[in-house]
Amino acid sequence: MHTLHTALNRFNNAHLSFPPFARALHEIDGLLQMYRETGLAENLLILGESGTGKTTLCQAVIQQHPRRALQERDWLPVLYIPIPPAATIAGVTEAMLSKLGDPAPGKGTISAKTARVFKLARGCGVELILLDEAQHIQDRGQLPTQYMVGDWLKGMADEIGVPTVLLGLPRVDSLLRVNEQLRRRFTRRLCMNLGQNEGSSIETECFQLFASLIPSLPVPLRFGNYDWEEFGQRLYYATDGRIAYVKSLLSAALRWVVQRNLEAITPEELEAAFACEIWSAGIGALNPFNEKFEFRPLTRAGEPFERGIPGMPLKGGKRHVAA
Protein backbone atom coordinates (compact mmCIF):
# COMPACT_ATOMS: atom_id res chain seq x y z
CA MET A 1 0.00 0.00 0.00
CA HIS A 2 2.87 2.29 0.88
CA THR A 3 4.48 1.69 -2.54
CA LEU A 4 1.20 2.45 -4.28
CA HIS A 5 0.77 5.63 -2.29
CA THR A 6 4.29 6.85 -3.06
CA ALA A 7 3.98 5.90 -6.73
CA LEU A 8 0.61 7.64 -7.11
CA ASN A 9 1.87 10.71 -5.33
CA ARG A 10 4.95 10.96 -7.49
CA PHE A 11 2.84 10.41 -10.57
CA ASN A 12 0.18 12.98 -9.62
CA ASN A 13 2.75 15.62 -8.77
CA ALA A 14 4.72 15.30 -11.99
CA HIS A 15 4.52 18.63 -13.83
CA LEU A 16 4.73 18.43 -17.57
CA SER A 17 5.51 20.92 -20.24
CA PHE A 18 3.35 19.88 -23.21
CA PRO A 19 3.26 22.20 -26.28
CA PRO A 20 0.26 24.50 -25.51
CA PHE A 21 1.32 24.75 -21.86
CA ALA A 22 4.91 25.69 -22.78
CA ARG A 23 3.68 28.17 -25.39
CA ALA A 24 1.32 29.87 -22.95
CA LEU A 25 4.02 30.08 -20.28
CA HIS A 26 6.38 31.59 -22.81
CA GLU A 27 3.79 34.18 -23.97
CA ILE A 28 3.01 35.23 -20.41
CA ASP A 29 6.69 35.59 -19.70
CA GLY A 30 6.95 37.77 -22.81
CA LEU A 31 4.13 40.06 -21.53
CA LEU A 32 5.92 40.46 -18.22
CA GLN A 33 9.30 41.17 -19.82
CA MET A 34 7.77 43.71 -22.20
CA TYR A 35 6.07 45.47 -19.29
CA ARG A 36 9.27 45.53 -17.23
CA GLU A 37 11.35 46.87 -20.08
CA THR A 38 8.95 49.35 -21.69
CA GLY A 39 5.99 49.85 -19.32
CA LEU A 40 3.67 48.64 -22.10
CA ALA A 41 0.76 46.53 -20.85
CA GLU A 42 -0.43 43.97 -23.38
CA ASN A 43 -3.20 41.49 -22.65
CA LEU A 44 -3.78 37.87 -23.51
CA LEU A 45 -6.83 35.59 -23.67
CA ILE A 46 -6.26 31.89 -22.95
CA LEU A 47 -9.11 29.53 -23.76
CA GLY A 48 -9.32 25.80 -23.16
CA GLU A 49 -11.82 23.11 -22.26
CA SER A 50 -12.05 21.98 -18.65
CA GLY A 51 -8.94 20.03 -17.59
CA THR A 52 -6.59 21.41 -20.24
CA GLY A 53 -4.33 22.94 -17.57
CA LYS A 54 -5.31 26.64 -17.33
CA THR A 55 -5.24 26.85 -13.54
CA THR A 56 -2.06 24.76 -13.38
CA LEU A 57 -0.52 27.22 -15.82
CA CYS A 58 -1.39 30.09 -13.46
CA GLN A 59 0.18 28.18 -10.58
CA ALA A 60 3.35 27.72 -12.64
CA VAL A 61 3.50 31.48 -13.32
CA ILE A 62 3.00 32.24 -9.62
CA GLN A 63 5.74 29.75 -8.72
CA GLN A 64 8.12 31.60 -11.02
CA HIS A 65 7.21 34.97 -9.50
CA PRO A 66 6.21 34.25 -5.90
CA ARG A 67 4.81 36.62 -3.28
CA ARG A 68 7.54 38.02 -1.03
CA ALA A 69 7.01 39.40 2.44
CA LEU A 70 9.01 42.60 2.77
CA GLN A 71 9.43 44.46 6.03
CA GLU A 72 6.71 47.04 5.47
CA ARG A 73 4.41 45.20 3.00
CA ASP A 74 3.91 42.17 0.80
CA TRP A 75 5.40 42.21 -2.69
CA LEU A 76 3.02 40.52 -5.09
CA PRO A 77 4.26 40.50 -8.70
CA VAL A 78 1.44 38.23 -9.93
CA LEU A 79 -2.13 38.84 -8.83
CA TYR A 80 -4.12 35.65 -9.43
CA ILE A 81 -7.89 35.98 -9.20
CA PRO A 82 -10.30 33.14 -9.91
CA ILE A 83 -13.55 34.93 -10.84
CA PRO A 84 -16.14 33.76 -8.27
CA PRO A 85 -19.18 31.79 -9.52
CA ALA A 86 -21.62 34.66 -8.92
CA ALA A 87 -19.45 37.07 -10.84
CA THR A 88 -20.73 40.36 -9.48
CA ILE A 89 -18.51 43.41 -9.50
CA ALA A 90 -18.60 43.40 -5.69
CA GLY A 91 -17.55 39.72 -5.62
CA VAL A 92 -14.63 40.23 -8.00
CA THR A 93 -13.49 43.36 -6.16
CA GLU A 94 -13.60 41.57 -2.82
CA ALA A 95 -11.66 38.60 -4.23
CA MET A 96 -9.00 41.03 -5.43
CA LEU A 97 -8.90 42.90 -2.15
CA SER A 98 -8.42 39.79 -0.09
CA LYS A 99 -5.58 38.61 -2.36
CA LEU A 100 -4.00 42.03 -1.97
CA GLY A 101 -4.11 41.73 1.82
CA ASP A 102 -6.91 44.23 2.51
CA PRO A 103 -7.98 43.71 6.15
CA ALA A 104 -11.72 44.19 5.40
CA PRO A 105 -12.43 43.26 1.75
CA GLY A 106 -16.21 43.46 2.18
CA LYS A 107 -16.23 46.99 3.57
CA GLY A 108 -17.30 50.08 1.63
CA THR A 109 -19.13 50.94 -1.58
CA ILE A 110 -18.06 49.41 -4.87
CA SER A 111 -16.25 52.56 -5.91
CA ALA A 112 -14.45 52.76 -2.56
CA LYS A 113 -13.42 49.11 -2.87
CA THR A 114 -12.30 49.60 -6.46
CA ALA A 115 -10.16 52.57 -5.41
CA ARG A 116 -8.56 50.38 -2.72
CA VAL A 117 -7.81 47.71 -5.34
CA PHE A 118 -5.91 50.27 -7.45
CA LYS A 119 -4.00 51.63 -4.48
CA LEU A 120 -3.06 48.23 -3.06
CA ALA A 121 -2.13 46.80 -6.47
CA ARG A 122 0.34 49.65 -6.97
CA GLY A 123 1.60 49.38 -3.39
CA CYS A 124 2.19 45.62 -3.71
CA GLY A 125 4.09 46.03 -6.98
CA VAL A 126 1.60 43.99 -9.07
CA GLU A 127 3.08 43.47 -12.55
CA LEU A 128 0.69 40.92 -13.98
CA ILE A 129 -2.98 40.03 -13.40
CA LEU A 130 -4.29 36.53 -14.07
CA LEU A 131 -8.10 36.32 -14.17
CA ASP A 132 -9.08 32.66 -14.18
CA GLU A 133 -12.57 31.14 -14.62
CA ALA A 134 -13.65 34.01 -16.85
CA GLN A 135 -16.69 31.98 -17.99
CA HIS A 136 -18.30 32.82 -14.67
CA ILE A 137 -18.90 36.31 -16.03
CA GLN A 138 -20.60 34.85 -19.04
CA ASP A 139 -22.60 32.39 -16.96
CA ARG A 140 -24.37 35.34 -15.36
CA GLY A 141 -26.75 34.99 -18.26
CA GLN A 142 -28.18 38.46 -18.60
CA LEU A 143 -26.36 40.56 -21.13
CA PRO A 144 -26.50 43.83 -19.14
CA THR A 145 -24.78 42.18 -16.15
CA GLN A 146 -22.16 40.53 -18.33
CA TYR A 147 -21.60 43.85 -19.96
CA MET A 148 -21.25 45.68 -16.65
CA VAL A 149 -18.76 43.21 -15.17
CA GLY A 150 -16.84 43.16 -18.46
CA ASP A 151 -16.72 46.94 -18.44
CA TRP A 152 -15.53 47.03 -14.88
CA LEU A 153 -12.74 44.57 -15.71
CA LYS A 154 -11.71 46.64 -18.67
CA GLY A 155 -11.60 49.81 -16.53
CA MET A 156 -9.69 48.01 -13.80
CA ALA A 157 -7.07 46.63 -16.21
CA ASP A 158 -6.65 50.07 -17.80
CA GLU A 159 -6.31 51.82 -14.46
CA ILE A 160 -3.80 49.41 -12.92
CA GLY A 161 -2.00 49.45 -16.27
CA VAL A 162 -0.27 46.07 -16.07
CA PRO A 163 -0.60 43.12 -18.46
CA THR A 164 -3.78 41.11 -17.86
CA VAL A 165 -4.38 37.49 -18.84
CA LEU A 166 -7.99 36.29 -19.02
CA LEU A 167 -8.39 32.50 -18.82
CA GLY A 168 -11.53 30.45 -19.25
CA LEU A 169 -13.58 27.91 -21.17
CA PRO A 170 -13.98 28.39 -24.94
CA ARG A 171 -17.41 30.01 -24.47
CA VAL A 172 -15.69 33.10 -23.01
CA ASP A 173 -15.39 34.00 -26.65
CA SER A 174 -19.09 34.92 -26.68
CA LEU A 175 -18.53 37.27 -23.76
CA LEU A 176 -15.99 39.15 -25.82
CA ARG A 177 -18.36 39.15 -28.77
CA VAL A 178 -20.92 41.20 -26.83
CA ASN A 179 -18.38 43.53 -25.26
CA GLU A 180 -16.46 45.31 -27.96
CA GLN A 181 -14.18 47.25 -25.63
CA LEU A 182 -13.12 44.10 -23.81
CA ARG A 183 -12.67 42.35 -27.15
CA ARG A 184 -10.36 45.10 -28.35
CA ARG A 185 -8.15 44.59 -25.29
CA PHE A 186 -7.90 40.83 -25.76
CA THR A 187 -7.07 40.40 -29.40
CA ARG A 188 -4.11 38.15 -28.63
CA ARG A 189 -5.32 34.70 -27.83
CA LEU A 190 -4.06 31.21 -27.19
CA CYS A 191 -5.77 27.89 -26.93
CA MET A 192 -4.73 25.21 -24.43
CA ASN A 193 -6.02 22.33 -26.56
CA LEU A 194 -3.57 19.94 -28.17
CA GLY A 195 -3.26 19.62 -31.93
CA GLN A 196 -2.25 23.14 -32.91
CA ASN A 197 1.13 22.21 -34.34
CA GLU A 198 1.07 21.99 -38.09
CA GLY A 199 3.82 19.38 -38.04
CA SER A 200 2.06 16.80 -35.88
CA SER A 201 -1.41 15.35 -35.47
CA ILE A 202 -3.47 15.71 -32.32
CA GLU A 203 -3.17 11.94 -31.75
CA THR A 204 0.64 12.16 -31.92
CA GLU A 205 0.68 15.03 -29.44
CA CYS A 206 -1.65 13.13 -27.18
CA PHE A 207 0.62 10.10 -27.34
CA GLN A 208 3.67 12.27 -26.58
CA LEU A 209 1.91 13.73 -23.56
CA PHE A 210 1.09 10.23 -22.38
CA ALA A 211 4.64 9.03 -23.08
CA SER A 212 6.09 11.85 -21.00
CA LEU A 213 4.22 10.42 -18.01
CA ILE A 214 5.55 6.88 -18.49
CA PRO A 215 8.94 7.46 -16.75
CA SER A 216 7.13 8.33 -13.52
CA LEU A 217 5.22 5.01 -13.58
CA PRO A 218 6.58 2.30 -11.28
CA VAL A 219 5.48 -0.49 -13.69
CA PRO A 220 6.01 -0.94 -17.44
CA LEU A 221 3.35 -0.05 -19.99
CA ARG A 222 2.53 -2.45 -22.84
CA PHE A 223 0.62 -1.44 -25.96
CA GLY A 224 -0.83 -4.92 -26.56
CA ASN A 225 -1.74 -5.50 -30.20
CA TYR A 226 -1.66 -1.83 -31.10
CA ASP A 227 1.16 0.08 -32.74
CA TRP A 228 1.83 3.47 -31.21
CA GLU A 229 -0.26 5.29 -33.83
CA GLU A 230 -3.38 3.26 -33.10
CA PHE A 231 -2.67 3.49 -29.40
CA GLY A 232 -2.36 7.30 -29.73
CA GLN A 233 -5.71 7.44 -31.53
CA ARG A 234 -7.46 5.38 -28.88
CA LEU A 235 -5.86 7.48 -26.18
CA TYR A 236 -7.04 10.67 -27.84
CA TYR A 237 -10.63 9.41 -28.01
CA ALA A 238 -10.41 8.32 -24.38
CA THR A 239 -9.16 11.64 -23.05
CA ASP A 240 -10.10 14.27 -25.64
CA GLY A 241 -6.42 15.22 -25.47
CA ARG A 242 -6.85 16.87 -22.06
CA ILE A 243 -4.08 16.46 -19.56
CA ALA A 244 -6.49 16.01 -16.64
CA TYR A 245 -8.06 12.93 -18.28
CA VAL A 246 -4.74 11.50 -19.47
CA LYS A 247 -3.54 11.65 -15.87
CA SER A 248 -6.69 10.28 -14.29
CA LEU A 249 -6.76 7.40 -16.80
CA LEU A 250 -3.18 6.41 -16.07
CA SER A 251 -3.55 6.92 -12.37
CA ALA A 252 -6.61 4.61 -12.23
CA ALA A 253 -4.83 1.99 -14.37
CA LEU A 254 -1.86 2.15 -12.03
CA ARG A 255 -4.07 1.64 -8.96
CA TRP A 256 -5.70 -1.31 -10.70
CA VAL A 257 -2.31 -2.90 -11.51
CA VAL A 258 -0.83 -2.44 -8.04
CA GLN A 259 -3.94 -3.68 -6.24
CA ARG A 260 -4.02 -6.84 -8.35
CA ASN A 261 -0.27 -7.43 -8.28
CA LEU A 262 -0.04 -7.29 -12.07
CA GLU A 263 3.24 -6.78 -13.89
CA ALA A 264 2.34 -4.08 -16.39
CA ILE A 265 -0.32 -1.64 -17.53
CA THR A 266 -1.88 -2.97 -20.74
CA PRO A 267 -4.87 -1.82 -22.87
CA GLU A 268 -7.00 -4.09 -20.69
CA GLU A 269 -6.24 -2.05 -17.57
CA LEU A 270 -6.76 1.16 -19.53
CA GLU A 271 -10.16 -0.12 -20.67
CA ALA A 272 -11.16 -0.75 -17.06
CA ALA A 273 -9.70 2.60 -15.97
CA PHE A 274 -11.69 4.47 -18.65
CA ALA A 275 -15.00 2.95 -17.48
CA CYS A 276 -14.11 3.48 -13.84
CA GLU A 277 -12.66 6.98 -13.99
CA ILE A 278 -13.92 8.77 -17.09
CA TRP A 279 -17.24 7.34 -18.22
CA SER A 280 -19.12 4.54 -16.49
CA ALA A 281 -21.28 3.95 -19.59
CA GLY A 282 -18.11 3.55 -21.68
CA ILE A 283 -18.42 -0.17 -22.29
CA GLY A 284 -17.72 -2.26 -25.41
CA ALA A 285 -17.95 -0.17 -28.60
CA LEU A 286 -18.05 2.98 -26.47
CA ASN A 287 -14.74 2.24 -24.74
CA PRO A 288 -11.70 3.44 -26.74
CA PHE A 289 -9.54 0.60 -25.39
CA ASN A 290 -12.01 -2.10 -26.38
CA GLU A 291 -11.39 -4.06 -29.61
CA LYS A 292 -14.90 -3.12 -30.83
CA PHE A 293 -14.47 0.63 -30.32
CA GLU A 294 -16.24 2.74 -32.96
CA PHE A 295 -13.32 5.18 -33.49
CA ARG A 296 -15.22 8.41 -33.15
CA PRO A 297 -15.02 11.35 -30.73
CA LEU A 298 -17.21 10.81 -27.66
CA THR A 299 -18.84 14.21 -27.97
CA ARG A 300 -22.50 13.31 -28.51
CA ALA A 301 -25.14 14.31 -25.96
CA GLY A 302 -24.58 12.44 -22.70
CA GLU A 303 -21.06 11.37 -23.68
CA PRO A 304 -18.05 12.43 -21.63
CA PHE A 305 -16.74 15.11 -23.98
CA GLU A 306 -20.05 16.65 -25.02
CA ARG A 307 -19.20 20.21 -26.01
CA GLY A 308 -20.35 23.30 -24.18
CA ILE A 309 -21.02 21.68 -20.80
CA PRO A 310 -19.68 23.69 -17.84
CA GLY A 311 -17.37 21.14 -16.15
CA MET A 312 -17.13 17.74 -17.74
CA PRO A 313 -19.03 14.86 -16.20
CA LEU A 314 -16.93 12.07 -14.80
CA LYS A 315 -18.26 8.72 -13.68
CA GLY A 316 -21.51 8.65 -11.76
CA GLY A 317 -22.39 12.23 -12.63
CA LYS A 318 -19.29 13.65 -10.89
CA ARG A 319 -17.93 16.74 -12.51
CA HIS A 320 -14.30 17.46 -13.17
CA VAL A 321 -13.14 19.89 -10.54
CA ALA A 322 -9.92 21.78 -10.92
CA ALA A 323 -7.28 20.97 -8.32
Residues that bind ligand ATP (CB under 6 A): 14-16, 21, 48, 50-56, 169, 243-244, 247, 320, 322-323
In 3-state terms, what secondary structure has residue 280? coil
Neighbours of 257 (CB within 10 A): 23
d(CA 119, CA 310): 35
d(CA 245, CA 9): 16
Instruction: Please choose, out of 49-57, 184-192, 223-231, 242-250, the segment that lies near Mg ion by the rule CB under 5 A.
Output: 49-57
CB of 288 to Mg ion, least distance (A): 25
Using CB distances below 5 to 8 A depending on partner kind, what does residue 150 bind out of Mg ion, ligand ATP, none? none
Residues 134-173 that bind Mg ion (CB under 5 A): none
DSSP bridge pairs for 78: 128
CB of 261 to ligand ATP, least distance (A): 26
d(CA 91, CA 64): 27
d(CA 137, CA 267): 41
Measured from the CB atom, the residue of 291 and 306 that comes closer to ligand ATP is: 306
CB of 133 to ligand ATP, least distance (A): 7
CB of 295 to Mg ion, least distance (A): 30
Measured from the CB atom, the residue of 70 and 323 that comes closer to ligand ATP is: 323
Using CB distances below 5 to 8 A depending on partner kind, what does residue 50 bind out of Mg ion, ligand ATP, none? ligand ATP
Q: Is position 55 an interface residue for Mg ion (rule: CB under 5 A)?
A: yes
Sequence letter at residue 47: L
Strand runs labelled E in the chain: 44-47, 68-69, 74-75, 78-82, 128-132, 164-168, 189-191
Q: Of how many residues is the chain composed?
A: 323
CB of 64 to ligand ATP, least distance (A): 13
- Interface with Mg ion (CB under 5 A): 54-55, 322
